[in-house]
């Protein structure tokens, strides 16, 4: 399992794996559930760093 996403290739692999996991009927507290949760957090961190959403003017 990935511990961090450090480049675009790892990011693409993580997105593909999340897609695979979301096609399953995952139950809470299973290995697949934990993997999906972990990957989601890693993807969010990567996206926040490399694809930030600009803050709008108020």
3-state per-residue secondary structure call for the chain: CCCCCCCHHHHHHHHHHHHHHHCCCCCCCCHHHHHHHHHHHHHHHHHHHHCCCCCCCC
pLDDT of residue 46: 97
- Looking at per-residue pLDDT, the higher value among 2 and 16 belongs to 16
Locate 13 and state its tokens: 């692999």
Cβ atoms 11, 46 nearer than 8 A: yes
pTM here is 0.86
pLDDT of residue 57: 66
pLDDT of residue 3: 87
Locate 56 and state its tokens: 């709008």
């Amino acid at each position: 399992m990935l511990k961090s996403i450090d480049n675009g290739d790892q990011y693409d692999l993580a997105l593909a794996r999340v897609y695979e996991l979301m096609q399953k009927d995952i139950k809470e507290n299973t290995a697949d559930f934990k993997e999906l949760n972990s990957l989601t957090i890693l993807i969010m961190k990567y996206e926040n760093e490399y694809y930030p959403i600009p803050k709008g003017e108020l």
